[in-house]
């Protein structure tokens, strides 16, 4: 399968900066698919700039409801309407800062699928959980509680982001990354059957040009969910260029 390099811009950039970054990425990458997820206020602009390019545009979150009295929230259908094709759900910053649990992520994922968006479900353990030997069980629980039936056949994506590595510059060892991706693959296949063997599993957590090649070469790593480095076009493209041919 063709790897996916997804960029989570988080809460960064004004209109001019978003346009400049998008324009720099329009050419795409040779060995990987590219996806960029700007803040909601920039999705329409960025999606318009990406028309005719090889770069997809996604969102960073959505509400579980199709519409209603949910001040400040955005539905999956609204995201689709302004040009998004993907949506990140269950990111650790949402789980931590907004108290989202697996049930909330599950409901949002179902809404995304209904709207025709491809969900990217994030899972990952804290440093305390890893040190206590609970990393596998935490991630398996998140997978079991966050992923609905229909996710696999709709092309749903899973991103493993160890919470303690996000934005810290620290990464697990290559052995630890490979082991967790193998655990996720096994859990998905056991639940959903052989079709889950082709589900893209992304690694996220301080991915940068200097470590991308080693990470991309690991088994069951089908791309990356990139945070800070996705805000610099040269770095993001370098990460995509590190995908093995």
What are the binding residues for substrate? 8-10, 167, 206, 227-228
Contacts of residue 222, Cβ cutoff 8 Å, sequence gap at least 6 = 1, 3, 4, 200, 201, 202
Question: Are 49 and 26 a contacting pair, CB within 8 Å?
Answer: yes
* Of 100, 125, 129, 161, catalytic: 161
Active site residue 70: no
Strand-pairing partners, residue 59, are 87
List the alpha helices (DSSP H) in the chain.
15-25, 40-50, 76-81, 92-97, 102-115, 127-131, 135-146, 174-192, 209-216, 233-241
Binding residues are 8-10, 167, 206, 227-228
Rounded CA-CA distance 167/164 in Å is 8
**Residue whose structure tokens are 């990139």:** 226
* Of 63, 91, 93, 125, catalytic: 91
Instruction: Give 223-226's long-range contacts (Cβ < 8 A, gap of 24+).
Output: 223/3, 223/4, 223/5, 223/6, 223/32, 223/33, 224/4, 224/5, 224/6, 225/6, 225/8, 225/88, 225/120, 225/122, 225/159, 225/161, 226/5, 226/6, 226/7, 226/8
Active site residue 161: yes
**Which of the residues are catalytic?**
91, 161
């Amino acid at each position: 399968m063709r790897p996916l390099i997804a960029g989570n811009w988080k809460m960064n950039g004004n209109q001019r900066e978003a346009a400049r970054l998008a324009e720099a990425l329009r050419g795409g990458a040779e060995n990987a698919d590219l996806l960029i997820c700007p803040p909601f206020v920039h999705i329409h602009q960025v999606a318009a700039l990406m028309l005719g390019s090889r770069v997809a545009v996604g969102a960073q979150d959505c509400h579980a409801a199709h519409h209603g009295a949910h001040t400040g929230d955005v539905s999956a259908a609204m995201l689709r309407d302004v040009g998004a094709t993907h949506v990140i759900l269950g990111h650790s910053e949402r789980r931590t800062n907004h108290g989202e649990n697996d049930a909330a992520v599950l409901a949002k994922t179902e809404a995304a699928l209904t709207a025709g968006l491809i969900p990217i479900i994030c899972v990952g353990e804290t440093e305390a959980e890893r040190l206590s030997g609970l990393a596998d069980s935490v991630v398996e629980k998140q997978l079991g509680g966050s992923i609905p039936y229909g996710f696999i056949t709709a092309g749903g994506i899973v991103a493993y982001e160890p919470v303690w590595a996000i934005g810290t510059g620290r990464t697990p060892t290559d052995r630890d990354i490979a082991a967790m991706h193998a655990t996720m693959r096994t859990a998905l296949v056991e639940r959903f059957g052989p079709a889950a063997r082709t589900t893209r599993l992304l690694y996220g957590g301080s991915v940068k040009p200097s470590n991308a090649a080693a990470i991309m070469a690991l088994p069951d790593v089908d791309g990356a969910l990139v945070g800070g480095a996705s805000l610099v076009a040269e770095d993001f493209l370098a990460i995509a260029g590190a995908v093995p041919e």
